[in-house]
Structure 1
């Protein structure tokens, strides 16, 4: 390159956006597409003044148009940029933009008209041998000042053409229109590091991991009742959500192709059900699947196959065993003793296996393809009558009726004897294990303890010592025998007779009462007991020593009545005896309240009529009684020599007549309270008036008639007037004159009660009289 051209190409600094040969910069993908930016890997220019020289990857900027050198020679230039398309193979271009930036502009008043052309590939272009210009890119577009910081062309069509033709690279030419090519005023230079921004979509890949149900493609799959699930996995580099298209058809009728769709995530298994109703019985089917994103459809998978069989075996299988027969006791074999059981198809041709199990068939064993039978080894772990359920099954999973094969397993569980047979807690027991079968060892556990293995002696027995030490539970030795084959027999549970040494309890105090000490005698039973521990009601446990005679006497006090629990056990070393529970009734020390005038909870007498009530002490030491009546102030009365006191009380209302009383003992102790409730007959007076709805200002009369005995007066309150007392006539009645207040159509309250010759008032009658211009019924 001559020095003038070199200076021209390097006098302006280029804007280097990306360095390196190829750059792919992925951004966040939109649905079903991916964005990337790649940089040109090489560039070149051609010069009309050097028509046979090729300028490839020189230093400097890319010239376009005409330039006049110092010598006066006019040079016309075209520049070329080349991109590697390896990253775009297998994609569909949605859009593409070619862009670079201007470095120098000869005259910014001229329009920007630089063209970009897709050219035929040519490694070393020269002015005399320029690559063919095949397709002009729409543009240019620019923005901003001059020189333009970004000039771009639409490369979508050009890239699609290059990729469709299978090109591995693409070269674009930068040139001016023919009308401007020779005019130096339009000359420009560009950054030779051009870029392509491409929006492209990659179709989903070919689905893999095809399965019909849980059977891989290539293996024989027979579909039974209910149909099957077809599934596969497809991946897409641009989209995470795919539509799967499953297709299936009878192999003899490919024209009956059925397609079903399903949604799934890229890289994850997608499924689609094929229902039995959509399939024909005894038919071979082929199927395949492909995946689609929002823009493109991937290739079909390989073809897989399945067949159908909806008819179940119509006969239950035959079951037999020489080792375990249906003979009655003693039966055959034994627990832990394996035996063979043979299953036969019973004439059904397509049996593939059998399900079996004790009582319920759930274990699968395949059938021999030639004999359609299977033999299994089963080891019973229970003696006595057992049943083995067996069903045959074909390759499609159709199952036959069930055969229940009944057999009797001989009892070979070990025997256990313990000496002594009965004993107290803490007494060691020597237990002997024996078996009707040859055994090598025994494994036993006591209560919740660990399993311990002891070898069998020459006579086939073994010994173990256990010590029952816990009360309140079953003490059990559980033992299994170890057979020569290493299996264990059914276990045997031997329950020990254990005397828990529960102490005896004797209440010494007759008729225990609240607040008074009571004595209880405790007698130990468990040998070696050194202490009693007792709990009285909700109190904390108390421990006392066992006396030389094996007893102890304890004193208890209860501050509340009724039944209380006493729980007692003894302790001998680290062993606690059984617990004795004694329920002791504690009588209340509250006084008793009685009345013949007003019996408890009954209706008697009348309101205002006094009655006599007697308090009787429950404890001889009672010196006085304190009572309240109807929640009034407390009143204290002395107890007579006979421990009683009588008071007179007057009920003033029908309800709420409660008497609460306590006794006070000589030492100042207050007893439990007693409650006494009674009811008095209501005795409110009756009322009648001679006016119906009296008008405002109208005078009228009302008569009071007694219900209470010995009435001497009435007290009434009319409306807002103050209370008025009037005497009763000899017949016990009274008449009063009243004036109806205004305005009309109101109800005026009227309250009346009577007073007898002892000054006791009756219940009050509360009513109302309606006033108004219109007539109405008499007041009541």
Structure 2
């Protein structure tokens, strides 16, 4: 089969209610009030159970089974959930497990242990009233097969368009062929660019009913084999934001119970497909900068770029910018971080290809300019009790500055308002001779503290 992962999807188990109805075994029509009734909503390993003996669920040993008990008397708050199970090949070998103190209307569970590998079992459940020992009818049988052995070999992974250790241009989805390598019980494959493999999960809803999310619900990380023990073919694009260089694809096989095989690592050598980021205006703090985004020529020739994703490395926010017919785009960024901005930019082509990332940064100097004719920097001057004037001027647009804060020797901070052009003067009278350190920073009208500046002078 050929499989091209698209958007991430999670498929809910919508058939749970229908399965529950199919499991009901009718009780006597005229049962008296105050009797236990047949359990509903049967699950094993968090999946709705199979009532088809020819299509059992495959599970590991020690599987958990569960169902909802019921009682016609609403005042009954505790019942016993009773389970029985047996190997289908030998129905005489019946085992029974009681789960006391079950709450009517909620899932009650138990674990079936000491199950034989590669064996199919049937199990049923009923509700028992502990007050008088009365029991409901048993549910219809659920069927499961125990598989405790993972696939015997790691899969073989080949990429026909990218031979071993050879660099090739990117721009088109990468064909990946996966072979089970002789393992006959392989049901599917998981793959990952980053080394993490999702595991099955379940959302537990009202009354403890699970909604199962299997690994194959996500086409960006798993694919079913063409048939049991068969290969599969993928067409993958690199992960968003990959850096130029070799890509490592990790693949493992899964059997029907979900046991993984050893991992196969495949190195794919892809040349850079990064776009180019150009500033059309000079970066200045507090002012917008216009950036032009230009696609890699080879990537654009294979499939037109339709958009760019701009990732801010400081705020971790993404902005998607549509591309024009020629694949270029422009975007405007307000530079409001005193330390500057750092961005990663990737392009997305019409065929789904995600480029390697391009980086752009703006280093902004928001420190003040500090001068004094009375106390020049690093020079002896003035004296104890001799007042001196210090002038503060911004290196950014002065109309943005609201005030200046300064301190001597990292002592008490003092603040003075900025003038119309963002500058300010203040007078300081030293109380001691010797070296004196001063720290100064500006605060903008938006309340942003800019970078500190330092000034050292010597008092006679």
TM-score, normalising length: structure 1: 0.42
Q: CA deviation digits over 1:78-133, x for unaligned, max 9?
A: xxxxxxxxxx9433xxxxxxxxxxxxxxxxxxxxxxxxxxxxxxxxxxxxxxxxxx
Match of 1:565 in 2: 438
CA separation of 1:440/1:357 partners in 2, compared to 1, >3 Å: closer, same or farther? Answer: closer
* Distance in 2 of aligned mates of 1:584 and 1:290: 89
Structure 2 CA distance for aligned equivalents of residues 394 and 489 of structure 1: 34
Whole-Å separation in 1 of the counterparts to 2:125 and 2:424: 92
Contact kept in structure 2, 1:503 and 1:570, CA below 8 Å: no
Q: Is the 8 A contact 1:225 1:310 kept in 2?
A: yes
Does structure 2 conserve the Cα–Cα contact (< 8 Å) formed by 1:360 and 1:388? no
Is 1:235 the counterpart of 2:96 in the alignment? no
Corresponding position of 2:359: 493
User: Structure 2 matches for 1:567-716, cutoff 5 A?
Assistant: 567=440, 569=442, 579-583=452-456
| 2:235 is equivalent to residue 369 of structure 1 | no
Alignment partner of 1:211: what SS?
Answer: strand
Q: Compare relative contact order (CA 8 Å, sep 6+) and give the higher one, 1 or 2.
A: 2
Task: Note if contact 2:310-2:345 (Cα within 8 Å) is conserved in structure 1.
Answer: yes
Q: Which residue of the other structure, out of 497, 503, 517, is the alignment partner of 2:369? A: 503
Partners of 1:533 and 1:342 lie apart in 2 by 64
Distance in 1, matches of 2:432 and 2:174, equals 71
Checking the alignment, whether the CA contact within 8 Å between 2:184 and 2:228 is kept in structure 1 is no
Classify 1:503/1:253 alpha carbon distance in 2 versus 1 (closer, same or farther; 3 Å): same
In the TM superposition, what are the counterparts of 1:263-342 in structure 2 within 5 Å?
A: 263=100, 264-275=102-113, 278-293=114-129, 294-295=131-132, 296-329=134-167, 331-334=168-171, 337-342=172-177
| 2:294 is aligned with 1:434 | yes
| Structure 1 residues 90 and 327: alpha-carbon distance in aligned structure 2, compared to 1, 3 A threshold | same
- State the shift of 1:450 in Å: 8.1
Cα 1:500–1:446 change in 2 (3 A) is farther
Q: In the alignment, which of 12, 24, 41 is matched to residue 209 of structure 1?
A: 41
Residues 495-529 of structure 1: CA distance to partner in whole angstroms, max 9, x if unpaired? 23545474133462446666x24314437474875
Q: Distance in 1 between matches of 2:36 and 2:283?
A: 83
Q: 1:556 aligns with which of 418, 428, 432?
A: 428
- Aligned-residue offset at 1:569: 5.0
**Residue 417 of structure 1: how far off its partner (Å):** 3.0
Q: Where does 1:118-517 land on structure 2 (aligned, <5 Å)?
A: 202-213=34-45, 214-219=47-52, 220-238=55-73, 239-263=76-100, 264-275=102-113, 278-293=114-129, 294-295=131-132, 296-329=134-167, 331-334=168-171, 337-358=172-193, 359-362=195-198, 363-369=221-227, 372-380=230-238, 381=240, 382=242, 383-418=244-279, 425=285, 431-436=291-296, 437-438=299-300, 439-440=304-305, 443=308, 451=319, 453=321, 455-456=323-324, 458=326, 461-462=328-329, 468=335, 470=336, 472-476=338-342, 478-485=344-351, 488-496=354-362, 498-500=364-366, 502-506=368-372, 508-509=374-375, 510=380, 516-517=385-386
Could you list the per-position Cα deviations for residues 206-258 of structure 1 after superposition, in whole angstroms to 9, with x for gaps in the alignment?
33333332242314334544421122233111333211221112223333211
Shift in CA distance, 396/411, structure 1 to aligned 2, threshold 3 Å: same
Quickly say closer, same or farther: Cα 1:379–1:540, change in 2 above 3 A: same
- Give the match's secondary structure for 2:37: coil
**Alpha-carbon offset, residue 312 of structure 1:** 1.7
Please give the secondary structure, in 2, of the residue aligned with 1:208. strand
Displacement after TM superposition at 1:412 (Å): 1.1
Which sections of structure 1, spanning at least 5 residues, go unmatched? 1-87, 92-200, 588-780
CA 1:466–1:89 in structure 2 vs 1: closer, same or farther (change >3 Å)?
closer
| Change in 2 beyond 3 A, CA 1:455/1:391 | closer
Backbone CA RMSD of aligned residues: 4.1
What is the aligned length?
Answer: 380
Cα distance in 1 between the residues matched to 2:390 and 2:320: 44
Tell me if the contact between 2:253 and 2:260 (Cα under 8 Å) persists in the aligned partners.
yes
Quick check: 1:534 aligned with 2:404?
yes
Instruction: Write out per-residue CA displacement over residues 294-342 of structure 1, whole angstroms, 9 at most, x where no aligned residue.
Output: 211222222332222222211111112234554344x3424xx433322
Contact 2:274–2:358 (CA<8 Å) still a contact in 1? Answer: yes
Q: Which runs of 5+ in 2 are unaligned?
A: 1-28, 199-220
Distance 1:306 1:339, change over 3 A: same
Contact 2:69 2:127 in 1 (8 A): yes
Q: TM-score, normalised by structure 2?
A: 0.68
Partner of 1:90: 31
Instruction: Classify 1:441/1:234 alpha carbon distance in 2 versus 1 (closer, same or farther; 3 Å).
Output: closer
